[in-house]
């Protein structure tokens, strides 16, 4: 059992509303325990409109790190002292870290996605043809991350305006402003669902598949062997899309790795330590592949 917090215990937490369902406290507290760090992580239910107040409280209370979830990702971006390139482009912060007295807003979703893709299914996106289904918060992080790594991204989304905004972000990132310098330039455009037929990597970033009876986010006849099909959904672990992809002979990956690795990135930013990913996964009853 972990010792009770003392006056020296460092505090991190998540702000959001709702936030009680968040897996973050279990993930981070398992990581602190596994490494024997005198840290604790709590959930702060912060109402809409109070994100900047929470950042001010972080300064005053000496909170070491914050995870940020809905509805505060954009207001926190405006309240920190500095933004990482990804957070600035996305206009969304999911993590605040300290650099001395300064608070830096980060967005670790894209890095978490890329690490999942690389470590779990050995896919390096540079120069690959990729299709992202969806144009919401998760999709935008993935689009920017893929384009920054030099992938060609086609955005397929129900609402054309959201698709165009997301593709514009990807196109901006494709100039290798965020990814490893010197790599190939990425691109992002809006396209039709049929683009899935020629894709190397297909990512579902819509919620379709979370609930029984949801339609598939794309026609399964467009899927084939040789493709990697990723569903950002992690519960259920195997969505109907991933079932259809496996039947078509494709490699499949769910959202568990992205969830864990984006948290692992946050943990490392705060503590300077590599995150114990397996212990974090076990704490929330998830398992990563690879
Ligand atoms: P979001 O911001 O609400 O965006 C949802 C996107 O899905 C929008 O582009 C929306 O299209 C589209 N969509 C929603 N319902 C649809 C429907 N019935 N038919 C077609 N398109 C539909 O949500 P989000 O935060 O990006 O989350 C998206 C998914 O990613 C969720 O399943 C979430 O659980 C998952 N996720 C996973 C992780 C992870 O770490 N694994 C992290 C974040 C999110 P419109 O633009 O037309 O509304």
Whole-number Å distance, alpha carbon 231 to ligand 1 midpoint, is 11
When pLDDT is cut at 50, 70 and 90, the band that residue 20 belongs to is very high
**What is the pLDDT of the chain when averaged over all its residues?**
95
When pLDDT is cut at 50, 70 and 90, the band that residue 288 belongs to is confident
Q: How far is CA 264 from CA 15, 27, 31, 281, in A?
A: 17, 9, 9, 10
Whole-number Å distance, alpha carbon 184 to ligand 1 midpoint, is 28
Q: Give CA–CA dist 151/158, Å, rounded.
A: 22
Residues serving a catalytic function are: 73
Ligand 1 atom with minimal separation from the 134 CA: 9
Nearest alpha carbon, ligand 1 atom 17: 208
Contact assessment for residue 261 and residue 111, using Cβ atoms and an 8 Å cutoff: yes
- Ligand 1, from 71, 107, 138: best to mutate by most atoms within 8 Å of Cβ? 138
Ligand 1 atom with minimal separation from the 256 CA: 41
Ligand 1 atom with minimal separation from the 166 CA: 9
Whole-number Å distance, alpha carbon 175 to ligand 1 midpoint, is 26
Whole-number Å distance, alpha carbon 124 to ligand 1 midpoint, is 24
Q: Give CA–CA dist 284/203, Å, rounded.
A: 24
Q: Would you say residue 207 has pLDDT above 90?
A: yes
Ligand 1 atom with minimal separation from the 214 CA: 18
- Ligand 1, from 69, 120, 192, 206: best to mutate by most atoms within 8 Å of Cβ? 206
Contacts of 284 (CB under 8 A, 6+ apart): 23, 26, 27, 30
Whole-number Å distance, alpha carbon 206 to ligand 1 midpoint, is 3
Query: pLDDT tens across 159-200, in order?
Result: 999 999 999 999 999 975 455 556 678 999 999 999 999 999
Q: Would you say residue 7 has pLDDT above 80?
A: yes
Nearest alpha carbon, ligand 1 atom 20: 158
Ligand 1 atom with minimal separation from the 139 CA: 26
Q: What is the pLDDT of residue 175?
A: 79
Whole-number Å distance, alpha carbon 135 to ligand 1 midpoint, is 7
pTM: 0.95
Contacts of 68 (CB under 8 A, 6+ apart): 14, 15, 16, 51, 76, 93, 94, 95, 96
Closest CA to 175 of 184, 163, 162: 184
Q: Give CA–CA dist 68/56, Å, rounded.
A: 14
Q: Which residues line ligand 1 (CB under 6 A)?
A: 134-139, 157-159, 162, 205-208, 210, 232-234, 255, 258-259, 262
Query: pLDDT tens across 51-83, in order?
Result: 999 999 999 999 999 999 999 999 999 999 999
Q: Would you say residue 290 has pLDDT above 60?
A: no
């Amino acid at each position: 059992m972990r010792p009770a917090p003392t006056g020296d215990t460092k505090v991190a937490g998540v702000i959001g509303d709702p936030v009680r369902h968040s897996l973050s406290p279990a993930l981070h507290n398992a990581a602190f325990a596994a490494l024997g760090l005198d840290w604790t992580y709590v959930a702060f239910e912060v109402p809409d409109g109070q994100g900047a107040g929470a950042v001010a409280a972080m300064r005053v209370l000496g909170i070491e790190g914050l995870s940020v979830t809905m509805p505060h990702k954009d207001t926190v971006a405006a309240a920190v002292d500095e933004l990482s390139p990804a957070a600035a482009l996305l206009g969304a912060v999911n993590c605040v870290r300290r650099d001395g007295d300064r608070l830096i807003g980060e967005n670790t979703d894209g890095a978490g996605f890329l690490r999942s893709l690389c470590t779990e299914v050995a896919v390096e996106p540079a120069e690959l043809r990729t299709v992202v289904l969806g144009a919401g918060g998760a999709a935008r992080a993935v689009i920017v991350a893929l384009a920054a790594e030099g992938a060609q991204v086609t955005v397929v989304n129900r609402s054309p305006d959201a698709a165009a905004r997301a593709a514009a972000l990807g196109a901006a990132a494709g100039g290798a402003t965020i990814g490893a310098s010197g790599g190939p330039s990425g691109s992002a455009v809006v396209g039709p669902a049929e683009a899935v037929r020629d894709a190397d990597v297909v990512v579902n970033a819509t919620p379709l598949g979370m609930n029984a009876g949801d339609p598939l986010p794309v026609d399964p006849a467009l899927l084939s062997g040789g493709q990697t099909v990723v569903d950002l959904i992690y519960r259920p672990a195997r969505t109907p899309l991933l079932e259809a992809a496996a039947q078509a002979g494709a490699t499949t990956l769910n959202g568990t790795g992205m969830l864990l690795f984006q948290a692992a990135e946050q943990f490392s930013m705060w503590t300077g330590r590599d995150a114990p990913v397996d212990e974090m996964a076990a704490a929330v009853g998830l398992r990563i592949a690879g």
